[in-house]
């Protein structure tokens, strides 16, 4: 017979919980021990790497410093007289033993212009070449005592190298040139220990130039003169190159290999030397020890779990019997009756509690039957109340639907009224535009009539009066001549008035000269009559606006100048017109007293009518008029037009 479900489930939970606690303790202890062992081993490997790295870094730094010291010693032997004699300088370099020892690939000397005047060994094209574009040349000529370049491919030797430079001095002690030595990366005196020193099977060294983001030297020759990984790819490398961190740490290389590395700075060159070894090799001894520790922990865990299972099975057997009896009672196979108590422990207390629960259950069943009858009665009452409530809801819903239909009808009527108002506004704007066009056409016709008919007739009358005056006998009465002279003067005044009226109705210059020329002419006449200086500014007189646009801007300017003369008390008025074929801006500004727009609503009744007229003219040509003014700050009217 299979074990009861509840008993098995409880045993499983207790077994799993206790087993987990024991396993966690055993495995936690194993992991702590393994972690301490790995930390000790990591520290030991780090110390080994650091000792080798110090040896290599000191060797590189010593090699560079030795080459610099030798260059400085040779530079001290090059006097100003030798510098002035290239032949002596060349002989001195060739006789020096430096070219055969420290600088077999190149030793050059340049003047203060950066021109190479001597070299050894002699290479074709090197003498006479220029070093003026080199950074180390500028550092030396700026007063530096020495300079070390970044890793470069030699211009003449065609090999990866670094350039060491020291200054040459003239009689006054100023830099008059420099002595330059090229040290290639294959030089055993510079990176010899890098190749000789070995760290296990996977260990390696790297010499990096943070300034140039290049690897200068490496145990792996293929990495020489290769770019360093981009910033952010290896955070530990960024710390070493940017923050100067030199401690040991584990990281993953750009090739996806996990390594333990340390670093040290080569201060005289600005480089860093990195020593690293793969963690797979470095921590190989601890891996085997970890395997043995974890295997022992697994065997102990299995043994403890087996013992615990056997103990729990014996101790929980009474609980299983009670569970079977309760299941039979629940299935109706047996009546609800007290269960036997085997022993007075926690399981016995649980059975006692069940017996009390069974007794209380029998009592509750009797009470529940009475409550069911009462609930049925209340459900009948609730159903009747719900039916009444549904009837009220339906009635209220119908009322809301009728109100909603009425509201929708009112909304439709309002939309129709708004549409009619918009149509009326559009028609009114069209009528206003047509009225302005008709008004300007009538003004143009009247101006033409005044000019063509009235002015011509007045001119003819003037000529006739002159003929009459000339044909009078010399002894004619002075009174007649005086009257003729008065008539002639009156006639001239009438002709001037007719010409002014014709010009005010429609200036002819507006048709052939454009709005800028017309405003200049009107501004001169306005200044003569009012004493207010009018300045007209236009960007391009060759660009003509549409005729209705020019007429509207001209009338807006007339209205603005009239209001300025009446109310502003200004000394100067500026009229500006600028724009292009698609957009134009027309601005009229004065230095008058101005007014408070929010308070006066447009500056008074007469000024308000003038502003309304200007705004209507601007809108008739598709423009937008803006008025800006404040008390004591003048007034500015701008019209923006999109053509």
Stated as kind and residue range, the H or E segment containing 46 is helix 5-77
DSSP, collapsed to helix, strand or coil, labels residue 487 as: helix
Q: Which residues pair with 588 in a beta bridge?
A: 575, 637
Q: Would you say residue 108 lies in a domain? A: yes
Lowest mean pLDDT segment, chosen from 199-203, 366-370, 469-473:
469-473
Is residue 263 pLDDT above 80, yes or no? yes
Q: Would you say residue 445 lies in a domain? A: no
How much is the pLDDT for 284? 73
Lowest mean pLDDT segment, chosen from 44-48, 439-443, 478-482, 597-601:
597-601
Which of 112-116, 149-153, 546-550 has the highest mean predicted lDDT (pLDDT)?
112-116
Which residue, among 528, 527, 544, 556, has the nearest Cα to 621 in the 3D structure?
Answer: 556
Q: Is the CA virtual torsion 451, 456, 457, 461 positive or negative?
A: positive
- Render pLDDT for 605-638 as a digit per residue (tens, 0 to 9): 444 667 778 888 888 888 889 988 887 788 889 9
**What CATH number corresponds to the domain at position 97?**
3.30.450.20
Which residue, among 369, 360, 60, 98, has the nearest Cα to 217 in the 3D structure?
Answer: 60
Stated as kind and residue range, the H or E segment containing 249 is strand 249-252
Q: How many CB atoms lie within 10 A of CB 459?
A: 12
Q: Would you say residue 134 lies in a domain? A: yes
Q: Would you say residue 89 lies in a domain? A: yes
Take residue 604 and report the two structure tokens written for it. Answer: 């008074």
Which residue, among 612, 520, 609, has the nearest Cα to 573 in the 3D structure?
Answer: 520
Q: How confident is the model at residue 242 (pLDDT cuts 50, 70, 90)?
A: confident
- Render pLDDT for 32-50 as a digit per residue (tens, 0 to 9): 877 777 777 777 777 777 7
Which residue, among 554, 559, 517, has the nearest Cα to 536 in the 3D structure?
Answer: 517
Q: Would you say residue 139 lies in a domain? A: yes
Number of H helices, E strands in the chain: 17, 16
Give the domain extent around 529.
508-642
- Render pLDDT for 295-337 as a digit per residue (tens, 0 to 9): 777 787 788 778 877 877 777 777 777 777 777 777 767 776 7
Contact 57, 273 (CB under 8 A): yes
Domain end among 128, 155, 189: 189
d(CA 427, CA 297): 97
Domain end among 171, 189, 207: 189
Whole-angstrom CA distances from 292 to 19, 288, 298 are 21, 7, 10
Which residue, among 505, 490, 504, 483, has the nearest Cα to 458 in the 3D structure?
Answer: 490
Name the residue with higher pLDDT: 22 or 90: 90
Cα-to-chain-centroid distance, residue 459: 76
Cα angle, residue 412 at apex, residues 410 and 414 outer, rounded to 5°: 70
Q: How confident is the model at residue 2 (pLDDT cuts 50, 70, 90)?
A: very low
Take residue 92 and report the two structure tokens written for it. Answer: 């001195």
Take residue 637 and report the two structure tokens written for it. Answer: 């009217």
Percentage of residues of the chain with pLDDT beyond 70: 75
Average pLDDT of span 289-293: 74
Domain count, the chain: 2
Whole-angstrom CA distances from 619 to 159, 429, 604, 614 are 78, 8, 22, 9
Q: Which residue has the tokens 């001597």?
A: 118
Q: Would you say residue 624 lies in a domain? A: yes
Is residue 471 pLDDT above 70, yes or no? no
Average pLDDT of span 477-490: 65
Is residue 351 pLDDT above 80, yes or no? no
Is residue 177 pLDDT above 50, yes or no? yes
Sheet holding 204-209, edge to edge: 214-218, 204-209, 271-278, 258-266, 249-252
Q: Would you say residue 353 lies in a domain? A: no
Q: How confident is the model at residue 603 (pLDDT cuts 50, 70, 90)?
A: very low
d(CA 450, CA 276): 105
Whole-angstrom CA distances from 469 to 458, 459, 475 are 16, 15, 12
Q: How confident is the model at residue 5 (pLDDT cuts 50, 70, 90)?
A: very low
d(CA 488, CA 484): 6
Contact 206, 195 (CB under 8 A): no
d(CA 126, CA 108): 9
Take residue 480 and report the two structure tokens written for it. Answer: 């007649």
Phi then psi for residue 513, to 5 deg, are: -110, -15
Take residue 517 and report the two structure tokens written for it. Answer: 């020329």
Q: Which residues pair with 207 in a beta bridge?
A: 217, 273
Domain end among 189, 221, 249: 189
Q: How many residues can be counted in the chain? A: 643
Q: What is the DSSP letter of 580?
A: -
Q: Look up the pTM and report it.
A: 0.41
Q: How confident is the model at residue 475 (pLDDT cuts 50, 70, 90)?
A: low
Percentage of residues of the chain with pLDDT beyond 90: 2
How much is the pLDDT for 7? 45
Average pLDDT of span 196-206: 76
How much is the pLDDT for 167? 92
Average pLDDT of span 488-512: 66
Contact 573, 565 (CB under 8 A): no
Q: Would you say residue 166 lies in a domain? A: yes
- Render pLDDT for 527-580 as a digit per residue (tens, 0 to 9): 888 888 999 888 665 567 888 888 888 888 888 888 888 888 888 999 988 887
**What CATH number corresponds to the domain at position 545?**
3.30.565.10
d(CA 55, CA 78): 35
How much is the pLDDT for 189? 57
- Render pLDDT for 211-238 as a digit per residue (tens, 0 to 9): 888 887 777 777 777 888 888 888 888 8
For residue 11, cis peptide bond before it (omega within 30 degrees of 0): no
How much is the pLDDT for 587? 92
d(CA 77, CA 225): 34
d(CA 268, CA 355): 91
């Amino acid at each position: 017979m299979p074990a009861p479900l509840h008993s098995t489930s409880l045993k499983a939970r207790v077994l799993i919980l206790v087993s987990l606690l024991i396993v966690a303790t055993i495995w936690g202890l194993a992991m702590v021990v393994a972690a301490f062992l790995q930390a000790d081993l990591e520290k030991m490997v780090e110390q080994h790497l650091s000792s080798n790295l110090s040896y290599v870094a000191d060797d590189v730094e010593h090699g560079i410093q030795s080459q610099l010291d030798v260059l400085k010693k040779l530079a001290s032997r090059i006097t100003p007289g030798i510098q002035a004699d290239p032949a002596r300088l060349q002989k001195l370099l060739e006789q020096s033993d430096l070219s055969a020892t420290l600088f077999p690939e190149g030793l050059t000397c340049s003047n203060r212009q950066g021109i190479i005047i001597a070299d050894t060994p002699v290479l074709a094209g090197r003498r006479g070449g220029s070093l003026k574009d080199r950074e180390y040349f500028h550092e030396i000529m700026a007063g530096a005592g020495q300079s070390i370049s970044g890793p470069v491919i030699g211009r003449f030797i065609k090999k990866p190298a670094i350039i060491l430079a020291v200054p040459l001095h003239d009689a006054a002690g100023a830099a008059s040139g420099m002595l330059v030595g090229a040290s290639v990366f294959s030089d055993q005196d510079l990176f010899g220990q890098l190749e000789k020193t070995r760290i296990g099977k996977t260990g390696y060294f790297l010499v990096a130039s943070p300034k140039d983001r290049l690897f200068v030297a490496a145990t792996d020759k293929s990495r020489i003169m290769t770019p360093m990984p981009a910033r952010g790819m290896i955070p530990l490398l960024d710390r070493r190159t940017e923050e100067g961190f030199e401690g040991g740490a584990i990281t993953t290389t750009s090739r996806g290999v996990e390594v333990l590395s340390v670093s040290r700075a080569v201060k005289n060159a600005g480089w860093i030397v990195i020593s690293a070894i793969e963690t797979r090799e470095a921590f190989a001894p601890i891996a085997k020890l970890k395997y043995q520790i974890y295997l022992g922990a697994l065997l102990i865990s299995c043994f403890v779990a087996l013992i615990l299972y056997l103990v729990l099975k014996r101790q929980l057997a009474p609980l299983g019997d009670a569970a079977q009896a309760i299941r039979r009672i629940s299935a109706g196979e047996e009546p609800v009756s007290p269960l036997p108590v085997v022993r007075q422990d926690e399981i016995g207390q649980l059975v006692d509690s069940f017996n009390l629960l069974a007794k209380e259950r029998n009592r509750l069943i009797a009470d529940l039957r009475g409550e069911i009858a009462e609930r049925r009665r209340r459900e009948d009452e609730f159903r009747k109340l719900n039916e009444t409530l549904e009837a009220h809801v339906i009635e209220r819903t119908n009322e809301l639907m009728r109100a909603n239909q009425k509201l929708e009808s009112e909304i439709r009527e309002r939309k129709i009224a708004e549409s009619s108002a918009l149509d009326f506004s559009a028609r009114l704007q069209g009528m206003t535009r047509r009225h302005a066009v008709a008004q300007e056409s009538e003004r143009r016709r009247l101006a033409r009539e005044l000019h063509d008919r009235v002015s011509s007739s007045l001119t003819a009358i003037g000529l006739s009066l002159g003929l009459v005056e000339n044909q009078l006998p010399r002894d004619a009465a002075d009174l007649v001549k005086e009257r003729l002279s008065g008539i002639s003067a009156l006639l001239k005044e009438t002709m001037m008035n007719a010409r002014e009226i014709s010009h005010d109705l429609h200036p002819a210059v507006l048709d052939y000269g454009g709005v800028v020329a017309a405003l200049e002419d009107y501004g001169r006449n306005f200044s003569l009559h009012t004493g207010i200086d009018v300045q007209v500014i236009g960007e391009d007189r060759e660009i003509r606006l549409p005729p209705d646009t020019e007429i509207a801007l001209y009338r807006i300017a007339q209205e603005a100048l009239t209001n300025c003369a009446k109310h502003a008390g200004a000394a100067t008025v500026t009229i500006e017109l600028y724009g292009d074929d698609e957009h134009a801006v027309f601005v009229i500004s004065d230095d008058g007293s101005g007014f408070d727009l929010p308070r006066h609503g447009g500056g008074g009744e007469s000024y308000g009518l003038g502003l309304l007229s200007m705004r209507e003219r601007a809108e008739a040509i598709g423009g937008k008029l803006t008025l800006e003014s404040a008390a004591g700050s003048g007034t500015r009217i701008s019209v923006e037009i999109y053509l």
